[in-house]
Structure 1
Amino acid sequence: MNKTTWSVPLFVGVVLALNACATLSEEECVTSDWRRLGETDGASGKPISFVAEHQAACSKHGITPDAAAWRAGWDGGITTFCTPANGARLGAEGGYYADSCPLGLKNGFEAPYYANKKVYDARQRRDQLRSRIDVLRYEIDEIRDDDEERREKRREIERLRDDLWDAEDDLRVQEDLRYERFADLVGR
C-alpha cells in the first residue's frame, strides 16, 4: 500500500475523530440555554473546566457561549451531583469521578465514593482471579497428552488461589470499613 492510499483514509478518520470530540454541534451552540446546559453538566459531575470544551466546540462555528450563565447553572447542578448518596452510588458502580465537587461538598461526596469504589475494585479483582482459575481448569481438561503443560497450569492455579484468598480477604476488609463508616448509605 503506497503512502497516498493509506494517508487519505487516515486523514478522514482523524477529521471524524476530532469532530466526534466536539461537545456541541453548530445548531446546539446557537440554540443552547447555557444556564440549563451548565446545570445538566454539573448534575452529571462534569468539572467546572468543562465549559472550555463547549467554548472550543462553539468557537469552530464563530459562536461564543455564555460562560456566566453556564457557570450559574453548573453551580446549581453540581450540588445535586455532590451528595453523599450519589457518591456512594457512583463508587458502588465503579463509576468515574472527575474530582468536580467544590470544596464545601467534596468530603461529603468523596468519602462514601472512595469507600464504595474500593469495595467495587476489590470485587472486580476477586472476580478476575476466579475467572482466570476457571479458564485454566477448562484448559487443563482440554489437554490430552502433555503432562508438563498440565502440571504448569495446576501450579498457576495454586498461585492464583493464594492471590484469590488475599483478594477475598481484601474485599471483606473493604466491605467492613465501608459499612462501619457509611451504614446508612450501604443498605446491607
Structure 2
Amino acid sequence: MKNMTWALSLVVGAALALGACATLSEEECVTSDWRRLGETDGASGKPIGFVAEHQAACSKHGITPDAAAWRAGWDGGITTFCTPANGARLGAEGRYYADSCPIDLKDGFEAPYYANKKVYDARQHRDQLRSRIDVLRYEIDEIRDDDKERREKRREIERLRDDLWDAEDELRRAEDDLRYERFADLVGR
C-alpha cells in the first residue's frame, strides 16, 4: 500500500511538474546530496510528490535523481515541519500549507494551523472592510457639489458597516475557537 501511495504521488507530482519551472540546475542535479535535499524539502513543507519536479528538471540534463534517498530525507524533514507549533505559526502568519503532512502528523499540525489561519483570514477581511470605509470617507470629503454621488457613497459605507459588523463577529468567533483549541491542548483533550 505504501509503495502504491508513493507511486501515485510520483505520478501526480510529475503531472504538476510539467508546467513548473526547473527546480534545479544541471550542476545541482549532478552534485546534490539527494537525502539532504529531501530533508530540506520536507522541512520546508513541500509535498511528497515534489521529487517529481526535481526529476523533471534533472531529466532535461539526462540525470536521474536518487528518489529513494530523497524520500528517506523527506521522511525525516517533514517531521520537523509538521509540528503543532509550526502549524500555529504558519497559520497565524497566513502562510500557505500544501497539505503535505503525513496522516500520523496531520492532526497535530492542521488543528493549530487552521485555527490560527481562520483568525488571520478574519482579521484580513475586517481590515479590508475598514480600509474601504476609510477610502469612501475620504472620497466623500473630496466630492464637490454632487449630492447624488455623496449619497451613493454614504449608502455604500452603511452596507460596508453591516459587513464590518459581521466580520468583527466572525473574528471574535475565530478567536474564541482558537482559545478553545489552545485550552483543549493544555488539558490533553
Same structural fold, with TM-score higher than 0.5 when normalized by the shorter chain: yes
Q: What do the CA deviations read for 1:18-73 (whole angstroms, capped 9, x no partner)?
A: 99811000000000000000000000000000000000000000000000000000
- Structure 1 window deviating more from structure 2 (20-29 vs 77-86): it is 20-29
Give yes or no for the alignment of 1:47 onto 2:51. Answer: no
Q: Which amino acid counterpart does residue 113 of structure 2 have in structure 1?
A: Y
Q: Which amino acid counterpart does residue 147 of structure 2 have in structure 1?
A: D
Match of 2:140 in 1: 140
Deviation at 1:180, TM superposition (A): 1.1
Q: Percent identity?
A: 88
Q: What do the CA deviations read for 1:46-104 (whole angstroms, capped 9, x no partner)?
A: 00000000000000000000000000000000000000000000000001000000000
After superposition, residues 108-187 of structure 1 pair within 5 angstroms as 108-183=108-183
Match of 2:75 in 1: 75
Deviation at 1:127, TM superposition (A): 0.4
Rounded Cα–Cα distance in structure 2 between residues aligned with 1:183 and 1:73: 34
Rounded Cα–Cα distance in structure 2 between residues aligned with 1:88 and 1:36: 26
Rounded Cα–Cα distance in structure 1 between residues aligned with 2:137 and 2:36: 54
Q: Which runs of 4+ in 1 moved over 4 A?
A: none
List runs of 5+ in structure 2 lacking aligned partners.
1-17
Aligned residue-pair number: 168
**Partner-residue secondary structure (3-state), 1:118:** helix
**Partner-residue secondary structure (3-state), 1:21:** coil
Rounded Cα–Cα distance in structure 2 between residues aligned with 1:94 and 1:177: 17
Q: Conserved in 1, the CA contact under 8 Å of 2:20 and 2:53?
A: no
Rounded Cα–Cα distance in structure 2 between residues aligned with 1:20 and 1:45: 18
Deviation at 1:117, TM superposition (A): 0.6
Match of 1:102 in 2: 102
Normalised TM-score (structure 2): 0.86
Match of 1:33 in 2: 33
> What is the RMSD computed on CA atoms of the aligned residues?
1.6
**Partner-residue secondary structure (3-state), 2:64:** coil
Rounded Cα–Cα distance in structure 2 between residues aligned with 1:120 and 1:184: 20
Match of 1:11 in 2: none
Q: Conserved in 1, the CA contact under 8 Å of 2:90 and 2:96?
A: yes
Rounded Cα–Cα distance in structure 1 between residues aligned with 2:44 and 2:90: 11
Q: What do the CA deviations read for 1:98-122 (whole angstroms, capped 9, x no partner)?
A: 0000000000000000000100000
Give yes or no for the alignment of 1:57 onto 2:41. Answer: no
Deviation at 1:182, TM superposition (A): 1.4
